[in-house]
């Protein structure tokens, strides 16, 4: 069984380091699923999966930042997101566009020439009972068309114009993501928290392959200038809307580095337009993370970290990176000492990897929603 799981996550390939990678993954999965005595964490996971987490004494108090459902304002949750009403995703990317006019897969894993902008059309999931059942087979959100791509100096300004007058939620994806998968994740996030502004994606040239971790990391860092140009254009626009950023995994490295650059070059005026900065499962060396956060000055209060000490993907990347703990797997106290808010989601993962809970768990999504509400002057 363990071998089957390893084959599904990391297929056998004759590439340097593949055997070592597979062996480490095999040991990790085996240790995760071996029989063990039930712990408080295991019981909490079972309660959450069984739908009775609300009946577990002390559950709300055991996790930082109140990882509980419907904790924003205590009111009735919104029934529909803006994206569900108008399924258009604003996309800024440093990937190379595919075709002219654009054709599937629209943006490749290669590095493009400068920033590109597109208004991507999506298909929303069927909300009926039959649709929810069929979505298990057919999928959820999907990219249906990319009518036009603008590449070059005007791309950032075109993005800002498309978002004019609205708050923006920018999703920055992590390692091993294609354009299509990143777009679907951006849609699931925005719809999941019922975001009422403009939904957006900043996508960088990930190879979307298990053994291309090094290429992905360099591509993420290479994309800093493009991301900074986008944030500058949004900050300089006259709309007055807030720029909220949710970054995942390796995308948090790109985000923190870009915000450092923005603060140093554009100053407090630009940073004042930045709302919530949520770093979900940050795949960053804790020492590098500490240095980056300390350079943020008073803007550190904008940052919320969603961490998990049982995130197996971060455990594996830490092993690859020389054994230094990743920020997303660090102890809560160590992170809070830096001045950031921390939501410890360790007790909310019921799977083997537990790396993208903010996309699948309503309680963890509530952390994102509350961070955006705080940045907007709400609860």
For 202-245, the pLDDT digits (tens) are 999 999 998 899 999 999 999 999 999 999 999 999 877 899 99
Residue 369 in contact with residue 363, Cβ under 8 Å? no
Residue 239 in contact with residue 165, Cβ under 8 Å? yes
Number of independent structural domains in the chain: 1
Helix (H) or strand (E) holding 291: helix 286-294
Q: Does some domain include residue 116?
A: yes
Q: Does some domain include residue 152?
A: yes
Mean pLDDT of the chain: 81
Q: What are 264-290's pLDDT values in tens digits?
A: 999 999 999 999 999 999 999 999 999
Q: Cβ–Cβ contacts within 10 Å for residue 166, how many?
A: 17
Rounded CA-CA distance 143/217 in Å is 25
Q: Does some domain include residue 327?
A: yes
How many residues are given for the chain?
A: 379
Is the pLDDT score of 14 beyond 60?
Answer: no
Q: Cβ–Cβ contacts within 10 Å for residue 11, how many?
A: 12
| Domain region containing 297 | 68-375
What average pLDDT does this structure show over 60-89?
61
Q: What are 291-332's pLDDT values in tens digits?
A: 999 999 999 999 999 998 888 888 877 777 777 899 999 999
Q: Which residues pair with 143 in a beta bridge?
A: 122
Q: 3-class DSSP state for residue 377?
A: coil
Q: Does some domain include residue 326?
A: yes
198: which DSSP letter?
E
Report pLDDT for 27: 54
Residue 156 in contact with residue 118, Cβ under 8 Å? no
Strands (E), 173-237: 198-203
Q: Does some domain include residue 106?
A: yes
Rounded CA-CA distance 187/220 in Å is 21
At residue 65 the predicted structure's pLDDT band, cuts being 50, 70 and 90, is low
Q: Does some domain include residue 224?
A: yes
What average pLDDT does this structure show over 149-177?
96
Q: Does some domain include residue 39?
A: no
Rounded CA-CA distance 173/247 in Å is 6
Q: Does some domain include residue 115?
A: yes
Report pLDDT for 22: 56
Query: Domain with 346 in it: what CATH number?
Result: 3.40.50.1820
């Amino acid at each position: 069984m363990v071998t089957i799981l390893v084959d599904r996550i990391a297929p056998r390939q004759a590439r340097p380091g593949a055997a070592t990678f597979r062996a480490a993954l095999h040991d990790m999965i085996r240790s995760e699923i071996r029989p063990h005595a039930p712990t408080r964490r295991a019981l909490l996971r079972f309660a959450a999966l069984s739908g009775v987490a609300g009946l577990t004494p002390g559950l709300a108090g055991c996790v930082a930042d109140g990882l509980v459902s419907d904790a924003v304002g205590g009111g009735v949750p919104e029934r529909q997101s803006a994206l569900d009403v108008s399924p258009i995703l604003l996309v800024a990317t440093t990937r190379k566009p595919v075709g002219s006019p654009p054709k599937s897969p629209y943006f490749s894993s290669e590095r493009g020439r400068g920033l590109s902008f597109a208004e991507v059309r999506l298909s929303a999931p069927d909300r009926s009972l039959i649709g929810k059942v069929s979505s298990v087979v057919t999928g959820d959100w999907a990219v249906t068309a990319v009518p036009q791509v603008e590449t070059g100096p005007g791309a950032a300004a075109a993005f800002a114009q498309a978002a004019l007058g609205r708050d923006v939620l920018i999703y920055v994806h992590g390692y091993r993501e294609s354009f299509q998968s990143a777009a679907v994740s951006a849609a699931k996030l925005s719809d999941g928290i019922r975001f009422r502004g403009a939904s957006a994606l900043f996508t960088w040239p990930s190879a979307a392959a298990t053994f291309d971790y090094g290429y992905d990391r360099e591509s993420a860092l290479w994309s800093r200038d493009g991301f900074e140009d986008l944030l500058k254009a949004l900050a300089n626009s006259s709309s007055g809307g807030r720029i909220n950023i949710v970054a995942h995994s390796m995308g948090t490295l790109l985000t923190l580095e870009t915000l450092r650059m923005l603060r140093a070059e554009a100053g407090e005026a630009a940073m004042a337009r930045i709302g919530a900065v949520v770093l979900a499962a940050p795949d960053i060396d804790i020492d590098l993370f500490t240095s980056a956060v300390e350079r943020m000055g008073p803007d550190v209060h904008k940052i919320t970290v969603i961490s998990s000490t049982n995130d197996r993907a971060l455990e594996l990347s830490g092993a690859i990176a020389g054994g230094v703990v990743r920020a997303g797997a660090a102890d809560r106290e160590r992170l809070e000492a830096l001045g950031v808010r921390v939501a410890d989601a360790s007790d909310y993962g019921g799977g083997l990897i537990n790396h993208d809970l903010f996309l699948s768990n309503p309680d963890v999504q509530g952390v994102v929603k509350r961070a955006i509400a705080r940045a907007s002057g709400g609860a």
